[in-house]
Amino acid sequence: MILHCHHDRGTPARTSTQHVTLSVDGIPVTVPAGTSVMRAAAEAGIDIPKLCATEQLEAFGSCRLCVVQVKNRRGYPASCTTLVEEGMEVTTENDDLFRLRRGVMELYISDHPLDCLICPANGNCELQDQAGRVGLREIRYADGHNHLQETSDTSNPYFTYDPSKCIVCSRCVRACNDIQGTYALTTTARGFDTRIAPAGGEDFMSSECVSCGACVAACPTASLLEKSVIQMGQPQRSITTTCAYCGVGCSLNVEMQGEKVVRMVPDLNGGANHGHACVKGRFAWGYATHAERITTPMIRSSIREPWREVSWEEAIAHTASEFRRLQEKYGAESIGSITSSRCSNEETYLVQKLTRAAFGVNNVDTCARVCHSPTGYGLKQTIGESAGTQDFDSVMQADVILIIGANPTDAHPVFASRMKQRVRQGAKVIVADPRKIDLVETAHVRATHHLKLLPGTNVALINALAYVVVTEGLVDEDYVARRCEPEAFNKWREFIADPRHSPEATASITGVPADDMRAAARLYATGGNAAIYYGLGVTEHSQGSTMVMGIANLAMATGNVGRPGVGINPLRGQNNVQGSCDMGSFPHELPGYRHVADDETRHAFESVWGVQLSDEPGLRIPNMFDAAIAGSFKALYVQGEDIAQSDPNTEHVTHALESLECLVVQDIFLNETAKFAHVFLPGSSFLEKDGTFTNSERRISRIRTVMRPLAGYADWEVTQMLSNALGYPMHYKHPSEIMDEIALLTPTFQGVSYAKLDQLGSIQWPCNAASPEGMPVMHIEEFVRGKGRFMLTEYVATEERVNRRFPLLLTTGRILTQYNVGAQTRRTANNAWHQEDLIEIHPVDAEDRGIRDGDWVGVKSRAGETVLRAKIHERMQPGVVYTTFHWPGSGANVVTTENSDWATNCPEYKVTAVQLSRVEQPSAWQKHFAEFSEEQIKLLNQESAGAPV
């Protein structure tokens, strides 16, 4: 049960063109056909008692508390399962109903602890409320057989299951099934022995439970309850904010006592999540007050020296002085910045403004460089806008869901649940992925096709699908004629129809049987509304941009862009990837994806910013590294990013960082990059931020301050102080003023303001005069660029190829319970699920090398070598191995190479040729890493022991 005041009408809302009028206790009410009597009564202002019903779940009709009487009908039907009828006359209160309900409640309470005063749910318990509602005053039943002595399951780090308080209403089971779609809970036995039990294990922790918390939110008693509530008591107030983990951007209610967070619950009104969350957003927020937070600025002259704690004034003055000194010595272009997708729109906007206006250069880039930069390029070229075409809800109208290079159940779990809901309604799934991800086969989901391609062959696959569409007459000719450039289409049609792109010709490249490709293409083209969802398995390749264009080609050729249920949907890895790109974080683009060489745009910014801007594209992150090593790039301001862990070829990255004369890191922890820094500026966690994030569906949502910045200043204020110290004045008093400037200068944000966000809850850009409340689905009448443009997409094999020395292909990714570089989740109890990065290997490959499950395995590539523990798994295909990169000491990126996308330099994380062998000790890099990290922690602690300056 959750605190946030929400009037639960008992059963889900219905939509219908037909309406029904009935009377409830003499009050007339008109509702859509298909509505329950319970909900109709609620609409009339009458809340019928209930326990097993909630509007988050379909009616179940088990508790019998919601009985009513209907004129001219026999008996006492349950109002939750009885649908309204025209002219129906419903009575919700009379003596018979009173006696019935009180009798039902008496039976429930006869097997429930009478410890309300010391129960952790006291004051926020539906059972308690309903007992009062039905006037229960005594329990007539003497002590007898009961469940009161059953012991609690405390195995989950975040919540307990106390069966003695369970009333077996099945809300938890139904929440797990219908909302989360994991089917991890079940009701065991029958009659009095019926209990709720986790499936596939002895307790919650060893079961199939993914700890999303849906069952906890659904529980009407204290049976399933957050441990934080048990420890701290009931929260007293709530602030709505936005999750800082993945690109779904769930709206969350932070429930608090004072400035202390008691728990985080999903917002039922959240446009992206509709009241659902995952193990990260729901529970893994404790890092915000972790003991390792650094809250005082620090400086040092070299990375081999102890840190010196300083005042904010000294840290800012020192940074400004160093940056100006280096610009004077090495030239204006010798410095730059990196923004982060973990930071807000306002923060990233300000960093790019600082870089362009105060530094006087365009050397600003963002972490989207290493994830979705090909999306920006590819979609801009084809449809004219660097963003996904749909809202998340659109998936509920999809008939065919094509998932390419994405693993939503791990990386975008809340959206995956929504996707699974649609699949259970009958939508077909096609998965294109080297691994057997969960959506290939999981509870009540079975993909029609799993195109198990070899890493690095995406473009050959998408071309083969398009070949089938073109050569089998499946092109939506009318759509293409109306919506696309004819010349480009004809050129593409001729190109793609060449037999070299056929499934038969490319099967040996992709490893996918030709018949499977043909069947999948036919299903996508003819199965109704077809929607493509893709992730970093598309973009992080040497042909990432080509693949994005190939996806757009396929969608346009089949008429699958421009209405609900279809579209091209990049699933962004981090919470504000979309926003950080929108805000002009790329070195060649000002906010709104407009090139720096575009005079009109640049002049608009110049007139508001009062400074002349460069029309030259700046350095991208990999270029910054190369320039640093070459000696022409000397200082870098990094806000909220950990490039030393996240970027490929770690030794190359750290060489670049060591080459800098002034590295400034603004973060909440001493992350891997900060170990190479000369200035540390303490940052704010999302609980301390005030601003906005923009999720994968272009939804701008507010982040609201839950607690004051621990270091005294919000991140945007720090950037502003630095700008002022550099002589470029900024005088924002509140982040809303930054958003006002963004709206002034960015056509797609023209109508966005904090007032409107507070009014509407969230807004999907573009938000302007043409769409004042935003636009859930784009490109409806025409593409943003006018006519859609087909692009030629020749398959070019990556240069990262297997040979006798490196015979396996390594691909990297994420896992549900950890997030990206792990700086946040590694400092939470999520480690209970994932304590180390593992190398997953197919049994055949393992046997060939004498590797057993749990063995230490050396992973060697052309770039470097690391050691990981083996996990043998059949979801891998022979020849392909997989690991995650959540733990810095794992060194996953020691192995990945600098190969990158031809158009954007997005690294090819997904294809690295490696060899595996059993080993007995860590790699040389890992030993060096351990020594260096230990030294850096010592240097940090040396300072911590001393007095602040």
Partner 1 sequence: MNIDHLIHMANQIGAYFETEPDRALASAGIAEHLARFWEKRMRRSLYAYLDSAQDGALAPLVREALTQHRDQVLGKIQ
Q: Which of residues 526-565 bind partner 1 (CB under 8 A)?
A: 542, 546
Q: Which of residues 294-313 bind partner 1 (CB under 8 A)?
A: none
Binding residue count for partner 1, defined by CB under 8 A: 31
Among 289, 516, 898, 932, binds partner 1 (CB under 8 A): 898
Residue 934 in the binding site for partner 1 (CB under 8 A): no
Residue 470 in the binding site for partner 1 (CB under 8 A): no
Pick 210 or 581: Cβ nearer partner 1: 581
Residue 519 in the binding site for partner 1 (CB under 8 A): no
Q: Where are the alpha helices (DSSP H) in 558-598?
A: 577-582
Q: Check if the beta carbon of residue 561 is closer than 8 Å to that of residue 568.
A: yes
Residue 862 in the binding site for partner 1 (CB under 8 A): no
Among 616, 758, 782, 847, binds partner 1 (CB under 8 A): 616
CA separation for the pair 514, 516 (Å, rounded)? 5
Of 244-252, 256-264, 618-626, 727-735, which segment contacts partner 1 by CB under 8 A? 618-626
Pick 285 or 795: Cβ nearer partner 1: 795
Residue 170 in the binding site for partner 1 (CB under 8 A): no
Which amino acid makes up residue 586? F
Residue 588 in the binding site for partner 1 (CB under 8 A): yes
Among 60, 158, 415, 495, binds partner 1 (CB under 8 A): 495
Contacts of 743 (CB under 8 A, 6+ apart): 749, 750, 751, 752, 753
* Smallest separation (angstroms) from partner 1 to the CB of 939: 31
State the number of CA atoms in the 13 A half-sphere of 74 facing the CB: 0
CA separation for the pair 147, 194 (Å, rounded)? 10
Report the candidate in 284, 275, 291, 213 with the shortest Cα–Cα distance to residue 244: 284
Which amino acid makes up residue 46? I
Contacts of 390 (CB under 8 A, 6+ apart): 531, 564, 566, 567, 569, 697, 776, 777, 778
CA separation for the pair 31, 24 (Å, rounded)? 12
Q: How many C-beta atoms surround the C-beta of residue 293 within 10 A?
A: 18
CA of 465: how far to CAs of 234, 398, 403, 497, in Å? 55, 19, 14, 11
Residue 924 in the binding site for partner 1 (CB under 8 A): no
Residue 853 in the binding site for partner 1 (CB under 8 A): no
Residue 424 in the binding site for partner 1 (CB under 8 A): no
Q: Check if the beta carbon of residue 265 is closer than 8 Å to that of residue 217.
A: yes
Of 28-36, 188-196, 716-724, 897-905, which segment contacts partner 1 by CB under 8 A? 897-905
* Smallest separation (angstroms) from partner 1 to the CB of 468: 20
Tokens for 605, please give them. Answer: 């910014």
Q: How many C-beta atoms surround the C-beta of residue 905 within 10 A?
A: 18
* Smallest separation (angstroms) from partner 1 to the CB of 333: 7
CA separation for the pair 247, 387 (Å, rounded)? 12
Pick 301 or 632: Cβ nearer partner 1: 632
Pick 632 or 917: Cβ nearer partner 1: 632
* Smallest separation (angstroms) from partner 1 to the CB of 363: 8
Residue 897 in the binding site for partner 1 (CB under 8 A): no
Residue 490 in the binding site for partner 1 (CB under 8 A): no
**E strand spans, 675-747:** 679-682, 691-694, 699-703
| Segment holding 27, helix H or strand E | strand 27-32
Residues facing residue 293 across a β-bridge:
none
Pick 665 or 906: Cβ nearer partner 1: 906
Pick 199 or 629: Cβ nearer partner 1: 629
Cα angle vertex 67, ends 63, 71, to 5°?
Answer: 160
Report the candidate in 47, 198, 219 with the shortest Cα–Cα distance to residue 119: 219
Binding mask 86-125 for partner 1 (x = CB under 8 A): ----------------------------------------
Burial label for 258, CB within 10 Å (0-12, 13-18, 19+), is exposed
For residue 310, the SS3 value is coil
Of 150-158, 230-238, 515-523, 898-906, which segment contacts partner 1 by CB under 8 A? 898-906
CA separation for the pair 729, 726 (Å, rounded)? 8
Binding mask 796-825 for partner 1 (x = CB under 8 A): x-----------------------------
Rounded to whole angstroms, the maximal C-alpha distance in the chain is 93
* CA Rg value for the chain: 29
Tokens 């270029």 map to which residue?
623
State the number of CA atoms in the 13 A half-sphere of 726 facing the CB: 24
Residue 375 in the binding site for partner 1 (CB under 8 A): no
* Smallest separation (angstroms) from partner 1 to the CB of 494: 9
Among 32, 513, 617, 879, binds partner 1 (CB under 8 A): 617
Pick 542 or 684: Cβ nearer partner 1: 542
Residue 326 in the binding site for partner 1 (CB under 8 A): no
Q: Which of residues 745-804 bind partner 1 (CB under 8 A)?
A: 792-794, 796
Residues facing residue 739 across a β-bridge:
none
Pick 647 or 855: Cβ nearer partner 1: 647
Binding mask 328-367 for partner 1 (x = CB under 8 A): -----x-----------------------------x----
Dihedrals phi, psi of 15, to nearest 5 degrees: -120, 135
| Segment holding 533, helix H or strand E | strand 530-534
Among 587, 640, 776, 922, binds partner 1 (CB under 8 A): 587
Residue 476 in the binding site for partner 1 (CB under 8 A): no
* Smallest separation (angstroms) from partner 1 to the CB of 366: 15
Residue 502 in the binding site for partner 1 (CB under 8 A): no
Pick 519 or 792: Cβ nearer partner 1: 792
Report the candidate in 548, 550, 507 with the shortest Cα–Cα distance to residue 790: 550
Q: Check if the beta carbon of residue 462 is closer than 8 Å to that of residue 524.
A: no
Contacts of 459 (CB under 8 A, 6+ apart): 543, 546, 547, 550, 793, 794, 795, 796
Residue 900 in the binding site for partner 1 (CB under 8 A): yes
Pick 11 or 375: Cβ nearer partner 1: 375
Q: Which of residues 619-658 bind partner 1 (CB under 8 A)?
A: 619-620, 623, 626-627, 629-630, 632
State the number of CA atoms in the 13 A half-sphere of 163 facing the CB: 17
Of 125-133, 404-412, 505-513, 587-595, which segment contacts partner 1 by CB under 8 A? 587-595
Of 26-34, 70-78, 508-516, 894-902, which segment contacts partner 1 by CB under 8 A? 894-902
Residues that bind partner 1 (CB under 8 A): 333, 363, 491, 495, 542, 546, 587-588, 595, 597, 616-620, 623, 626-627, 629-630, 632, 792-794, 796, 898, 900, 902-905
